[in-house]
Amino acid sequence: MTGRTPDSNGQPSKVVQAAIDATFDIGDLGEQLTRVTTTLDALQRDNQLLSDAVTETQELLEKAQISERKAQETADAGKREIGRLQAAVDRRDAELVKVEDELTKMRSERTDWESVVLAERDAAIEEQTADLATARAEMRALNDRIAHLEDELSLERQRTAPDTHLVQLMTTAGTTLLIDGEDLVRTGWPELAPERRRGQVIEAASRFHQRHGVNTEVILASAEGWDPDEPAPAGVRIRVPHEGIAISACLSRLARAYGSGAPLVTVSSSAAEEPWISTARAASLMGLPVSQHSHHNQDLESAMEEEK
């Protein structure tokens, strides 16, 4: 019987040792393949989340473009109406000049029987003047309406401006959102009282965390509407600033505390530390029921008193 045998020292031959080493290498390759497969699955899930966010953003952009076109059509119609009224005013002005010229001529030749005619003409002039004043008032009202529509159009363009990189950052796991909670209180749930809206803001932040894996810090001006003794939802941190500190200042301090390298987005109706996204835009991404007339005219004073 022939075959490989240990060498004279009783150790396995080189061929046998190579076969043993190869067996261990195959085991290591199997473990590496398992780790690669796990990593690939995680990447595929992340890619699906990003794809969903991009699709949602495209749908929102299409809706915004439809709204923009409708607003532009309304503005164009208003401008055409202004042109029509301006032409009518010009015609009335020309007629008034002609009537005034005629009245001046007739007054120079006035007689007793002409007094009645002149009185009737004066009445006609007064009526035309009143009509002219009415037309001018209508024109001013339409001008104000056009200006209002143009302001709304400008705000709509700013609110729905493409900001795909911010959307991706907002929906990337590990990102932290610094949210002006009082802005969201004024923006969403128009049918609810303010104190109830604060609880809705916290729930919305929790749902957004569950959906995308982002962390949220919600800054509120008051503890009304939520119970500070109860633990905050997972991924949500609630802060109430100290008296005398505005929420905007609180957001800036937190942003600087996180540092420039941290994945961070500030959500506020007023410009904040970059990267920053408007409250209205963020509310749409978070699926909040938004009021058509949100009020952002209060600078809420508050404190870095961390309630949770």
What residue ranges define each of the domains in the chain, with the CATH number in brackets?
Answer: 63-159 (1.10.287), 164-306 (no CATH)
Q: Is the pLDDT of residue 294 over 70?
A: no
* pLDDT tens-digit map of 49-93: 888 888 888 888 888 889 888 888 888 888 888 998 989 888 888
- Closest listed residue to residue 105, CA positions, set 121, 129, 89, 128: 121
Residue 49 CA: distances (Å) to CA of 56, 113, 169, 212: 11, 91, 12, 8
Q: Is the pLDDT of residue 306 over 50?
A: no
Residue 305 has what pLDDT? 34
Contact 165, 265 (CB under 8 A): no
d(CA 227, CA 290): 24
* pLDDT tens-digit map of 157-190: 545 555 677 778 888 888 888 898 888 888 777 7
What angle, rounded to 10 degrees, do the helices at 112-159 and 14-108 form?
170
d(CA 48, CA 72): 36
* pLDDT tens-digit map of 179-220: 988 888 887 777 888 778 888 888 888 888 888 888 889 988
Q: Is the pLDDT of residue 241 over 70?
A: yes
* pLDDT tens-digit map of 91-134: 888 988 888 888 887 777 777 677 777 788 888 898 888 888 99
Rounded mean pLDDT, 132-142: 89
Q: Is the pLDDT of residue 243 over 70?
A: yes
Model confidence at 154, in pLDDT bands (50, 70, 90)?
very low
- Closest listed residue to residue 253, CA positions, set 303, 294, 193, 288: 303
Coil vs helix vs strand at 149: helix
Contact 160, 64 (CB under 8 A): yes
Model confidence at 152, in pLDDT bands (50, 70, 90)?
low
What would the two tokens of residue 240 be?
């109430």
- Closest listed residue to residue 187, CA positions, set 296, 63, 276, 298: 296
Strand partners, 130: none
What would the two tokens of residue 272 be?
């904040």
| Residues in contact with 135: Cβ distance below 8 Å, sequence separation at least 6, in sequence order | 85, 88, 89, 92
Burial status of residue 308 (CB atoms within 10 A of its CB: 0-12, 13-18, 19 or more): middle
d(CA 174, CA 8): 62
Q: What is the rounded average pLDDT for all residues in the chain?
A: 77
**E strand intervals along the chain:** 176-180, 215-219, 236-240, 245-246, 264-267, 276-277, 301-302, 305-306
